[in-house]
Amino acid sequence: MLFWAAMAGWLIRVEAFPQWFGRPAACYRALLDDAPAAMDSWMQILFRDRTIGYSRFRLDTQEHDPSARYLLNHQVVLRLAILGAQHQVNGTAEAALDAWRQLQRFTLALRGGPYVFRADGRRTGKTSFEVRLDGSAGPSRLTLEIPDDVVLYSPMQEVQLKRLRPGEQLRLRTLDPFSFKPSEILVEAVSWEPVVVSGRTTNALALRVTSGRVSLRAWMDAEGRVLREESPMGWVLEACTPEQALAWVASPDAGSQEEQLQEWGGLFERLKTGMLSRED
């Protein structure tokens, strides 16, 4: 997961500054040109030096179904205190691309305790998608226009960011899946510097990530893999092995601090009261 705030699966439109990319990126087509046939990357999520969850991204290629040649799956699992009770929070973003690397269908899902949000989209026209929404307010449908230069947010964006050099920038235009309102993220490459990950020091490119008044920090190695991210709320994401990520699952006190995620109560209350008003 490149930015923790995107764990529910944001829709991202990537536009590079012309002085160094020359033209807007081709999104999925450009991403997959540089990507391997399969990927499986993990990050552990920390708060106050304690593991509270993990993030996993997978890319698979299959030959038997041209309409779903490329399958992207991004999963986030957290154990949190929400509104005074312990809950496990699961977020998933999935996308299926055809043999021409065009998005054909996607799923966004977020579940935490009694609160559930899910969006299933399927291409119905050149750029039109029919989206079914399910949440605490009940089911609804809408038609969404998603041009081919819009991608379902995932760590595939790291493939784009590895092109950055100190002093260069990348601007990301986003759509929040809960409100479908646009926002903008600016990624700036600062400098190469040492960073400690899992007790080891590595030379990495420091990134500054700004969205509105919120600024995050991240560090990326020479291969384009994000090694560490820090949010202003104290969250830290670190690259890890599957064994490190899954060892947390067996921990009985993971995520037991009440103050960890008070802000999540606000998010789930928005879902509970049905902040989306759509045509049934």
3-class DSSP assignment, residue 274: coil
Above pLDDT 70, what percent of the chain?
65
- C-alpha 178/C-alpha 31 separation (Å) is 25
Task: Over range 4-26, report the average pLDDT.
Answer: 35
pLDDT at 143: 87
Residues 134-156, mean pLDDT to the nearest whole number: 72
| Interatomic CA distance for residues 271 and 280, integer angstroms | 17
Alpha-carbon distance of 105 to 169, in angstroms, equals: 30
Point out the least confidently predicted range of 75-84, 103-112, 226-235, 270-279: 270-279
Residue 239 pLDDT > 60, yes or no? Answer: yes
Cβ contacts of 59 within 8 Å, gap of 6 or more: 35, 36, 37, 38, 39, 40, 70, 71, 72, 156
Amino acid in the structure at residue 220: M
Tell me what pLDDT residue 207 has.
92
Q: Is the pLDDT of residue 21 over 70?
A: no
- pLDDT at position 99 is 81
Highest-confidence range of 35-44, 199-208, 228-237, 269-278, by mean pLDDT? 199-208
Answer whether residue 34 shows pLDDT above 80.
no
Q: Above 70 in pLDDT, residue 232?
A: yes
| pLDDT score at 19 | 32
Tell me the average pLDDT across 6-26. Answer: 35
CA gap 58, 60 in Å, rounded? 7
Helix (H), strand (E) at residue 250: none
**Per-residue model confidence (pLDDT) at position 7:** 37
* Residue showing tokens 């020479």: 222
Q: What is the pLDDT of residue 163?
A: 74
CB 204, CB 189: distance < 8 Å: no
C-alpha dist (Å) from residue 100 to 28, 61, 148, 156: 10, 13, 11, 17
Other beta carbons within 10 Å of 217: 16
pLDDT band at 175 (very low <50, low <70, confident <90, very high): low
Q: Which residues pair with 169 in a beta bridge?
A: 188
pLDDT, residue 262, reads 42
* Phi, psi torsion values for 6, nearest 5 degrees: -95, 15
pLDDT of residue 272: 39
Q: Backbone dihedral region of 167: left (phi > 0), alpha (psi from -120 to 50 degrees) or beta?
A: left
CB atoms within 10 A of CB 91: 22
Alpha-carbon distances, residue 157 vs 99, 202, 211, 225, 276 (angstroms):
20, 21, 16, 10, 27
Per-residue pLDDT averaged across 271-276, rounded?
39
Give the pLDDT band (50/70/90) at residue 31: low
Whole-angstrom distance, CA of residue 91 vs CA of residue 116: 10
In 52-175, which residue ranges form alpha helices assigned H by DSSP? Answer: 157-161
| Most confident option among 10-19, 81-90, 225-234 | 225-234
Q: Could you tell me which of 146, 145, 135, 182 has the C-alpha nearest to residue 277?
A: 135
- Three-state DSSP class for 275? coil
Q: Residue 180 region, left (φ>0) first, then alpha (ψ -120 to 50), else beta? A: left
How many helices (H) does the chain have, and how many strands (E)?
Answer: 4, 16
**Token reading at 59:** 């890319």
Query: Averaged over 144-150, what is the pLDDT?
Result: 73
Q: Which helix (H) or strand (E) holds 45?
A: strand 39-47
Distance CA 72, CA 69 (A): 10
pTM for the whole structure = 0.73
